[in-house]
Amino acid sequence: MPQPGTGLPPMRTVLEYPYTRTTGPVMGAFLTGIRDGRLLGGRIGERVVCPPLEYEPGTGAPAGLDLVDLGPGGTVSSWTWVREPTATHPFRHPFAFALIVPDGASSGFPHVVDAGSPERMSTGMRVTARFKEQRRGSITDLWFVPEEDGARAAPPVEGGDPVTLAEQPVSLTYVEPYHPHRVRFLNGLLEGVITGQRSPVTGKVYVPGRGYDHLERTLMTEEHDVAVSGRGSVSSFTEITPVQYHGQKETEPYIRASILLDGSDSPITGVDIRTIPLSEFRVGLRLRAVWRPAGERDVSAFDNRSTGGWEGVIERWEPTGEPDADSRALEEHAF
């Protein structure tokens, strides 16, 4: 759904990283059981809780390690239906979150039920556990289905080392509208125009504009918008050598540069250069933007703050063949 009056979709930002921790003797035993196709609980006095706990909930005293096999059946004590799963949910299709009391347990634990439709869900219904064929010792290695769908034995998994580490992706997605000056800047990019803002106090042109002159502390509105050139001079750069990390997509080294566009007093930053060899790249090199076709331009990588995202609208930067700009005059624009 486009942001009203802009033609642009709302800005979506995803903050995601893997969280890794040691499991400890109790949770490690629980996850090892899942890896081996068993659902385990822990005996605390007369009760059996699932997952097992390291402490007595009422007193905080150590609970010891007294494991009990549970299930694979269980009873749903409460539930809710998820109509629109997110990227971090265990299924891409609608499913239920439910509080499930496994057979042999005294209390329930929250998990998922793949029932197909909410009409098949009810409080008090019977469910049974299903296990993935390939398991690594994660709570998402199993799920529940309605009991009438039939029980299945957990496929064997080779390897008997205890599970001592658990990795959980942490993900946060938030949506916010673009600021008015940002809307004008992004719509300009979709039309093949780079828009800056001229300070009413100093006359300096900032690209992209921020809606205010951050040095003179004065507002800049639509009347201060100006178009700048798609040509400019490299003011600084660095070679990026990708390293391996969770979710890494880059594999080859590339250049990240700042370019002072003609008609601007501030360089654009976060410009990735992949078609010019490092040996031929230098401060002062004159470049021009080669735009992507109008129907292929994408501004979704831009947000309200950073200046990265140029690759979505500009296919590449290429040398103009002009003499280099004076590198000494570009020193104040190094980023």
18-54 pLDDT, tens digit each: 888 899 999 999 999 999 999 999 999 899 999 999 9
Q: Are residues 302 and 220 in the same domain?
A: yes
Q: Are residues 181 and 116 in the same domain?
A: no
Cβ of 64: how many Cβ atoms within 10 Å? Answer: 13
Provide the pLDDT confidence category of residue 179 given band limits of 50, 70 and 90: very high
Q: What is the pLDDT of residue 199?
A: 97
Q: Are residues 318 and 210 in the same domain?
A: yes
Q: What is the pLDDT of residue 111?
A: 97
Is 223 a domain residue?
yes
Q: Are residues 187 and 132 in the same domain?
A: no
Is 299 a domain residue?
yes
Q: Which of 91-105, 148-162, 209-223 has the lowest mean pLDDT?
A: 148-162
Pick the more confident residue, 133 or 245.
133
Q: What is the mean pLDDT of residues 106-113?
A: 95
Is 241 a domain residue?
yes
Q: What is the pLDDT of residue 160?
A: 78
Q: Are residues 181 and 329 in the same domain?
A: yes
At which of 122, 157, 192 does a domain end? 157
Q: What is the pLDDT of residue 171?
A: 81
Q: What is the mean pLDDT of residues 207-227?
A: 95
Backbone angles phi, psi at 63, to 5 degrees: -95, -15
Buried residues in 33-63 as b, exposed as e (16+ CB within 10 A): bbbbbbbbbbbbeeebbbbbbeeeeeeeeeb
Q: Are residues 118 and 219 in the same domain?
A: no
Q: Are residues 182 and 320 in the same domain?
A: yes
Q: Which of 109-123, 182-196, 301-315 has the lowest mean pLDDT?
A: 301-315
Report the share of the chain in percent with pLDDT over 90. Answer: 73
At which of 100, 128, 157 does a domain end? 157
Is 193 a domain residue?
yes
Q: Are residues 319 and 188 in the same domain?
A: yes
Is 171 a domain residue?
no
Pick the more confident residue, 11 or 54.
54
With left for phi above 0 and alpha for psi between -120 and 50, is residue 91 left, alpha or beta?
Answer: beta
Provide the pLDDT confidence category of residue 5 given band limits of 50, 70 and 90: low
> What is d(CA 98, CA 112) in angstroms, rounded to the nearest whole number?
6
Report the share of the chain in percent with pLDDT over 70. Answer: 97
Q: How many domains does the chain have?
A: 2
> What is d(CA 60, CA 326) in angstroms, rounded to the nearest whole number?
70
Q: Are residues 141 and 218 in the same domain?
A: no
* Helix H or strand E segment including 176: strand 165-176
Is 167 a domain residue?
no
Q: What is the pLDDT of residue 97?
A: 98
Q: Are residues 185 and 283 in the same domain?
A: yes
Q: What is the pLDDT of residue 245?
A: 73
Which two three-digit tokens encode residue 288?
């021009």
Q: What is the pLDDT of residue 59?
A: 87
> Whole domain around residue 306: which residue ranges?
176-333
Q: Are residues 153 and 186 in the same domain?
A: no
Q: Are residues 143 and 183 in the same domain?
A: no
> What is d(CA 209, CA 199) in angstroms, rounded to the nearest whole number?
9
Answer yes or no: is pLDDT of 2 > 70.
Answer: no
Provide the pLDDT confidence category of residue 307 given band limits of 50, 70 and 90: confident
> What is d(CA 324, CA 282) in angstroms, rounded to the nearest whole number?
9
Q: What is the pLDDT of residue 291?
A: 98
Is 168 a domain residue?
no
Is 296 a domain residue?
yes
Answer yes or no: is pLDDT of 294 > 90.
Answer: yes
CB-based contacts of 78: which residues, under 8 Å, 6+ apart? 98, 99, 123
SS3 (DSSP) at 29: helix
At which of 157, 192, 218 does a domain end? 157
How do the residues of the chain divide into helix, strand and coil, expressed in percent and rounded to 5? 15, 35, 50
Q: pTM (2 decimals)?
A: 0.68
